[in-house]
Structure 1
Amino acid sequence: MTRFALTLEFDGTPFMGLQRQSHGPSVQQAVEDAIHAVTGENAVMHAAGRTDAGVHALAMRVHSDIEKQIEPFRLMEALNYHLRPAPVAVLDCAVVADDWHARFSCTGREYLYRIANRRAPLTLDLNRAWQVPQPLDAEAMHRAAQALVGRHDFTTFRSVHCQSQSPLKTLDRLEVERVGEEVHIRAAARSFLHHQVRSMVGCLALVGMGRWRETQIGEALAARDRQALGLNAPSEGLYFVKALYPGE
C-alpha cells in the first residue's frame, strides 16, 4: 500500500462541495471515481480542508492509499485523463510517508477572496468572483480587518451548521488590497470555522461600501452572536490557495 499526496486545482461551480454528497456531485467523488478507473480500487480521498458548493481551489492537498504499483507521474497523468470533463486537475503527485495526513498533518491554510468591484457584468470571471458594483474603500477594509487578527471567539463569523468543537481560532493574517478593479482579501490560519472567511469578507465589504464603521468589525466580533453578522459573502469568490506542512 502506497500513500500518494495529490495537489488539486478545481472550479467549484458544478460541485456541491469538496466532500462527497448524497444529493449531488462533489470533488471527492470525481477524484475517487478517477482512482477507481485507473486502479480498480475503492480508495478514499482525504483533503486538507472542506470547501462549500461553488468554492474553488488553486492548490488543495489530498491523499489516498493505493495498492497498485504505479509511478507518481503516471498516476497523475492517468487521473487527469479520467477526470475529464470535470473541472478538476491534478497538478502534482508524490509518494509520502504512511503517517502523513492531508488534514491532520496540515499546519496552516490560506484562502483568497476575489471581489470584482465594477458595474459591468462579469463574463470571463462569472462564478469566479463576487461582483460588487458600489465603489469599495480597500484601505478602510484592511484597517478594519486587523481587529480580527489574533486568537478570538469567532462565533459571530461561524455558520450555525459548523461542526467545530470550539469557536476559538487564531487568525494569523487578514489582508485587503486593491488589484486594479478587484479587491483581494487574503486570510491565513491553522484552521478556519465553517463560513468564517465568507462571513468576514461580507462584513468587510460593508465597511468598504461605507455602510459599516470600521470599528463595527470589532464590535461584531465582541458580540459573539451570529445575529450581529452583517453579510455572508457568496461562495463564488472564495479560493483555497495553499496548505502548509512541516518541512515543506
Structure 2
Amino acid sequence: MDNLISLVNKIQRACTALGDHGEASALPTLWDSLPAIAVVGGQSSGKSSVLESIVGKDFLPRGSGIVTRRPLVLQLHKSDEGSREYAEFLHLQRKRFTDFAAVRKEIQDETDRETGRTKQISSVPIHLSIYSPNVVNLTLIDLPGLTKVAVEGQPESIVQDIENMVRSYIEKPNCIILAISPANQDLATSDAIKISREVDPTGERTLGVLTKIDLMDKGTDAVDVTCFVHDLDAKTFKSLVLDALGVIMF
C-alpha cells in the first residue's frame, strides 16, 4: 500500500504541474481518477489542528474568517529516523524549508499571489510536501472552510462558491471525506456532516473527527468510538484511512 500511495503522490504532483487539479470540467481528468482524502469542515472547526497534529508541526495559517482560500495538497513523506524535517513547495522547487513558520508565511504569500490581497478564493491548489521521520506516507487535501455568510470584501456568492469547490472534491466516489466537527457545537447542525451525508449517504467514504473536546459543556460526554484529535496519532490515523481506501479502491 505504501508503494501505491507513493505512486499516487507522484501522479498528483504531475497533474498539479500540468494544471490538472480537479476543477469542474466537461471531460473527466486524470486527477479525478485518483484516490484522495479531503479535509472538510466549517470555519474555525479545527481543521488546522487536525492536520498539524498528524504532521506534528505548526505550519498552517491561523486567524478569523476564511483563512484557507485555496486547496492545499499536503503530501507527507516518511524519511529515515534521525533525518532532518523539511518542507518543499511545488512552485518553489529545490528550495527546502526547515523553518515551519516560514512554511506558514509562504502559504499565505502564495495564496495572495493567486487571489490578490483580497478575501477571494481560488480553486488552484498549493502543493506542499513535508519530509519527516515522524509522519506516514499520505496525501491530504485541505479545503476552504464552509461558511454561511459573506464578510466585508467578499461577494455574496462566496458561500455557494466554497460549497461548490468542496463538493467538486468530495462528490467523487474515490474520495475519502475527513469530516471535521467541533465538539462545542450541535453535531446535528455540523456543516461537514451535512454535506458529507449528501454526497456519501451510506457513510462508507466518511471519517468523522471531533475537535475541541476541551470546550464541551460540563456534564456532556463524547462517544467512545469518536476519533479524538489529541489522541489520534499518525499511525492510528493511517490505519483508519487505509481501511477507507480499501472501500473505494477494491
TM-score (norm 2): 0.23
Q: Which structure has the larger Rg? A: 1
- Bigger strand share: 1
- Bigger helix share: 2
